[in-house]
């Protein structure tokens, strides 16, 4: 039986990196709901009109709308042997809809959460600095600039902390993630489908673990 992988992890936990490694090494089909909604909105039909209307209103896409887009996307040939979902499901209603879809498609759902303590995520995120000229990103702890707070490529330019990364904003982002995701994690856990991965390990090790779960 092929698998649907639900990949979860807090902002900064390395979900994006792991998704990329999976694509490179396993050639998995990856489905990011954000990307497909944006792409789908460019087309010319009733569904695209509906997505554009939601986007214009600034509201979040409804569970039903997201589900229809996922259903359409995963009906393609490249998803026949399973796929990796990123950013979906976000709600319990979506999780229930995904159960139905998985049964129809003959796939088994496996949820993977990359666990990193929030304290560490806060440290990681708030240590980020970027060059306002070239956009190069540094990290005080993991990738410091050669000269104190100055870009390696632009020694005259002082690095700035990304506005988005201020401690307060990072906290809010993590709390929002936690509130949204906790019910889903509990759900997959009680269904015996949850794999927790220690996200403080090296990214290659994390990748190997995920690979092991998928195969
Ligand atoms: Zn620079």
Active site residue 73: no
CA–centroid distance for 17 within its chain? 9
User: Residue 128 C-alpha to ligand 1 middle, in angstroms?
Assistant: 14
Active site residue 150: no
Instruction: Give the pLDDT score at 140.
Output: 85
| Catalytic residue from among 3, 40, 73, 173 | 173
User: Residue 151 C-alpha to ligand 1 middle, in angstroms?
Assistant: 5
User: Residue 158 C-alpha to ligand 1 middle, in angstroms?
Assistant: 9
Inter-residue long-range contacts of 92-99, CB under 8 Å, 24+ positions, other chains counted = 92/183, 92/184, 92/187, 93/63, 94/63, 94/66, 94/67, 95/184, 95/187, 95/188, 97/63, 97/67, 98/4, 98/6, 98/67, 98/70
Active site residue 173: yes
Ligand 1 (ion): residues with CB under 5 Å are 131, 133-134, 136, 151, 153-154
User: Residue 191 C-alpha to ligand 1 middle, in angstroms?
Assistant: 49
pLDDT tens digits, 13-58 = 988 889 888 888 888 899 988 889 999 999 999 999 999 999 999 8
User: Residue 36 C-alpha to ligand 1 middle, in angstroms?
Assistant: 33
Instruction: Give the pLDDT score at 187.
Output: 97
Instruction: Give the pLDDT score at 11.
Output: 86
User: Residue 162 C-alpha to ligand 1 middle, in angstroms?
Assistant: 14
Instruction: Give the pLDDT score at 173.
Output: 87
- Other Cβ atoms within 10 Å of 183 Cβ, number: 12
Q: Are 145 and 133 in contact (CB under 8 A)?
A: no
Instruction: Give the pLDDT score at 167.
Output: 82
pLDDT digit string (tens) for the chain, length 215 residues: 599 999 999 988 988 889 888 888 888 899 988 889 999 999 999 999 999 999 999 888 899 999 999 999 999 999 999 999 988 999 999 999 999 999 999 999 999 999 999 999 988 888 888 899 998 888 888 889 998 889 999 999 999 987 667 788 888 889 999 999 999 999 999 999 999 999 999 999 999 999 999 88
What three-state secondary structure class fits 136? coil
């Amino acid at each position: 039986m092929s698998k649907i992988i639900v990949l979860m992890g807090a902002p900064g936990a390395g979900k994006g990196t792991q998704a990329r490694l999976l694509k490179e090494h396993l050639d998995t089909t990856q489905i990011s709901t954000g990307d497909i909604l944006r792409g789908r909105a460019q087309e010319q039909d009733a569904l695209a009109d509906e997505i554009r209307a939601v986007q214009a209103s600034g509201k979040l896409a409804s569970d039903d709308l997201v589900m229809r887009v996922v259903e359409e996307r995963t009906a393609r040939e490249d998803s026949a042997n399973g796929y990796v979902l990123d950013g979906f499901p976000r709600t319990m209603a979506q999780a229930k809809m995904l159960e139905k879809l998985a049964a129809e498609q003959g796939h088994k759902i496996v949820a993977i959460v990359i666990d990193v303590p929030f304290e560490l995520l806060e440290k990681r995120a708030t240590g980020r600095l970027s060059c306002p000229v070239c956009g190069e990103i540094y990290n005080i702890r993991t990738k410091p600039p050669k000269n104190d707070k100055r870009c390696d490529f632009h020694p005259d330019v002082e690095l700035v902390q990304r506005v988005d990364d201020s401690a307060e904003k990072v906290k809010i982002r993590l709390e929002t993630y936690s509130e949204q995701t906790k019910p889903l994690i509990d759900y997959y856990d009680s269904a015996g489908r949850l794999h927790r991965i220690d996200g403080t390990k090296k990214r290659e090790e994390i990748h190997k673990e995920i690979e092991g779960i998928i195969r």
